[in-house]
């Protein structure tokens, strides 16, 4: 049976921890196996990408596989071919597909009709590869004590925020989320996170107060306020200004706080230039870890899919 990675809840807590441990072995050079030897993996992207595209292409190559990069305007789907027909066709040519699209429903449809593993490389609703990697970054620092630290997400309740809710539930983390009224995360992802918390002992708290979220936090996480393909509405920017990660807000966190950003950053909006540069080394380690975590994810998906 093929395994997809459309949403983070498609892996179990036990599988999640196993992927993190594999990522650590891969990063340390202990595991050098070429798990994708002879495999062809397609990258089907309808949106721009720097970190996700490059990290997946390098990961696939280092695991012995080949990549084929596809853009929507180069495929017949851009001229009206049914997406399900594209999915069934590509399933006959390649061994797996990594998809970045602005429609989560389209990704789900593609996965439904595909006979090969489908990986979500970002949609309007979720970014599971990012959050899996971010949790690995924290696991690398805190070990299994990551379950006892306070993690604060401040800003827009977007696809990254949605997936953090599920990640907290899956790994039993303590997550505080601060968003303005009207910009809360998805209720579907919140409920999925809550359901997982009942199994793993994690906890999720939602608030409109950024200080409450950040107070005594070990980790403060933010993301852009305006995602790709969204209009830059002044009303939204105005609502989010109190959620900027700056020195004043960080003064409420632990002195040794770690600041995370999934990039790209719009400095001067969700985070100040000063704060970003103060934590740049950790932020770019976070970016690097996309490579190691995605290698572990690919190992998992192709070893469990039959």
- Which positions are annotated as active-site residues? 100, 127, 130, 223, 262, 290
What secondary structure does DSSP assign to 63-99, as a single string?
TT-EEEEEEGGGSGGGGT--HHHHHHHHTTT-SEEEE
The Cβ of residue 244 has, within 10 Å, a number of other Cβ atoms equal to 19
**Helix or strand holding residue 35 (H, E):** none
* Closest residue by Cα to residue 63 from 305, 293, 306: 293
Distance CA 296, CA 137 (A): 13
d(CA 194, CA 213) in angstroms, rounded, equals 18
Query: Which helix (H) or strand (E) covers residue 269, if one does?
Result: none
What is the pairing mode between strands 40-45 and 66-71?
parallel
The span from the CA of 298 to the CA of 14, in Å, is 16
Phi, psi of 59 (to 5 degrees): -60, -45
């Amino acid at each position: 049976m093929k395994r997809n990675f459309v949403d983070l809840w498609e892996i179990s807590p036990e599988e999640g921890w196993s992927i993190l441990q594999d990522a650590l072995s891969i990063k340390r050079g202990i595991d050098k196996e070429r798990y994708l030897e002879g495999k062809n993996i397609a990258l089907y992207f309808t949106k721009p990408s720097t970190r996700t595209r490059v990290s997946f292409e390098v990961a696939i190559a280092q695991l012995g596989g080949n990549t084929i990069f596809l853009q929507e305007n180069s495929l017949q789907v851009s001229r009206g071919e049914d997406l399900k027909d594209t999915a069934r066709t590509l399933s006959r040519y390649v061994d797996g597909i990594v998809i970045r699209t602005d429609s989560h429903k389209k990704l789900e449809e593609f996965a439904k009709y595909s006979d090969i593993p489908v990986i979500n490389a970002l949609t309007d609703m979720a970014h599971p590869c990012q959050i899996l990697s971010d949790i690995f970054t924290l696991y690398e620092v805190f070990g299994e004590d990551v379950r006892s630290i306070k993690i604060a997400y401040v800003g827009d309740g977007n696809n990254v925020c949605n997936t953090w809710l599920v990640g907290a539930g899956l790994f039993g983390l303590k997550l505080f989320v601060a968003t303005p009224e009207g910009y809360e995360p998805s209720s579907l992802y919140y409920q999925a996170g809550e359901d997982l918390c009942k199994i793993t002992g994690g906890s999720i708290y939602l608030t409109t107060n950024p200080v409450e979220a950040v107070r005594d936090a070990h980790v403060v996480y933010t993301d852009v306020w305006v995602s790709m393909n969204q209009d830059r509405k002044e009303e939204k920017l105005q609502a989010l200004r109190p959620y900027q990660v700056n020195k004043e807000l960080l003064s409420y966190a632990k002195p040794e706080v770690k600041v995370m950003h999934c990039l790209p950053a719009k400095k001067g909006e969700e985070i100040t230039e000063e704060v970003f540069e103060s934590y740049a080394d950790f932020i770019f380690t976070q970016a690097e870890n996309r490579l190691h975590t995605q290698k572990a994810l690919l190992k998992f998906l192709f070893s469990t899919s039959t």
